[in-house]
């Protein structure tokens, strides 16, 4: 019972901290994108391509953390999620 | 100002390599240990499909060239992309009980690493060589 409760807490922490990390990263990235676009609007197409790539880097680990959290919740904890 | 924008070659290259690596890993595992192959295919597809959606939303259709509106569009597309990835993962983990999680997450990570490996390799191979004087 205690181990199961710890698994719920672990899954929730993985989901929550992963989401917080992604939020901070994407917020900083968006702010820098706006700064760059405001300074040199002619570079927007290039900035957008770089934004796509860096956005992929920023949300890689949070999505993996969410995936492992979901795995813990749905597959490891017995009786959760059907 | 409304523009018709196509997906840049660099992004197409990344998406192409993501699918190629997914199918290569799946084919390799199908030959080596074929009960893991489907997990690898799912892991790669869970990574590549939301990226395709994000690229399509970001670069095609009519897009407004103002930075603020563009950023809003990007954030909406990113939210949908993350939701799609999480929904696909949840669907796989709930409905497919025989999934091998290590293979799933490893393929996901390998396919996701294309996002930074492919631009790096492309940049190295297309960099003009400087002549020594």
Summary mean pLDDT of chain A: 83
Is residue B111 classed exposed, middle or buried when 0-12, 13-18 and 19+ CB atoms within 10 A define those classes?
buried
pLDDT exceeds cutoff 70 at A3? yes
User: Which residues does residue B3 pair with via DSSP β-bridges, in sequence order?
Assistant: B63
- Residue A45: CB partners within 8 Å, gap ≥ 6? B5, B8
Q: Pick A73 or A25 by higher pLDDT.
A: A25
Length of chain A: 82
- Which string of DSSP letters, residue by residue, matches A35-58? HHHHH-GGGHHHHHHHHHHHHHHH
Q: Are A51 and B74 in contact (CB under 8 A)?
A: yes
Is the four-CA dihedral B61, B66, B70, B72 of positive or negative sign?
A: negative
Tell me what pLDDT residue B48 has: 92
Per-10-residue mean pLDDT of chain B, 133 residues long, equals: 68 90 93 89 92 84 65 85 87 85 88 85 69 50
Interface check for B67 against chain A (CB to CB < 8 A): the answer is: yes
End-to-end CA distance of chain B: 48
Say which of A52, A64, A82 has its CB closest to residue B108. A64
pLDDT, tens digit (0-9, with 9 covering 90-100), for B79-103: 898 889 889 988 988 888 888 888 9
Chain B nearest C-alpha distance from A68 (Å): 8
Interface check for B58 against chain A (CB to CB < 8 A): the answer is: yes
Residue B116, CA distances (Å) to A32, B13, B21 in order: 19, 12, 14
> Is A63 within 8 Å of B54 when comparing Cβ atoms?
no
What is the maximum alpha-carbon separation in chain A?
60
Say which of B78, B90, B93 has its CB closest to residue A55. B78
Task: Provide residues of A within 8 Å CB-CB of chain B.
Answer: 22, 26, 30, 33-34, 37-38, 41, 44-45, 48-49, 51-53, 55-57, 59-60, 63-64, 66-68, 70-71, 74-75, 81-82
């Amino acid at each position: 019972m205690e181990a199961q409760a710890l698994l719920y807490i672990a899954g929730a922490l993985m989901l929550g901290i992963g989401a917080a990390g992604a939020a901070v990263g994407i917020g900083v990235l968006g702010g820098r994108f706006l700064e760059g676009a405001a300074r040199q609007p002619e570079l927007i197409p290039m900035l957008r391509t770089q934004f796509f790539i860096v956005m992929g880097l920023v949300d890689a680990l949070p999505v993996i953390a969410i995936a492992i959290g979901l795995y813990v919740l749905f597959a490891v904890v017995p009786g959760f999620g059907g | 100002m409304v523009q018709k924008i196509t997906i840049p070659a660099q992004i197409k290259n990344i998406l192409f390599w993501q699918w190629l690596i997914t199918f290569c890993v799946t084919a390799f595992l199908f030959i080596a240990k074929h009960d893991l192959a489907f997990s690898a295919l799912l892991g790669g597809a869970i990574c590549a499909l939301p990226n395709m959606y994000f690229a399509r939303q970001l670069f095609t259709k009519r897009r407004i060239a103002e930075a603020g509106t563009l950023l809003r569009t990007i954030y909406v597309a990113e939210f949908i992309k993350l939701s799609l990835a999480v929904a696909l993962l949840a669907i796989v983990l709930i409905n497919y009980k025989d999934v091998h999680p290590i293979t799933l997450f490893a393929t996901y990570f390998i396919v996701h690493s294309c996002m930074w490996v492919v631009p790096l390799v492309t940049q190295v191979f297309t960099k003009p060589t400087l002549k020594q004087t």
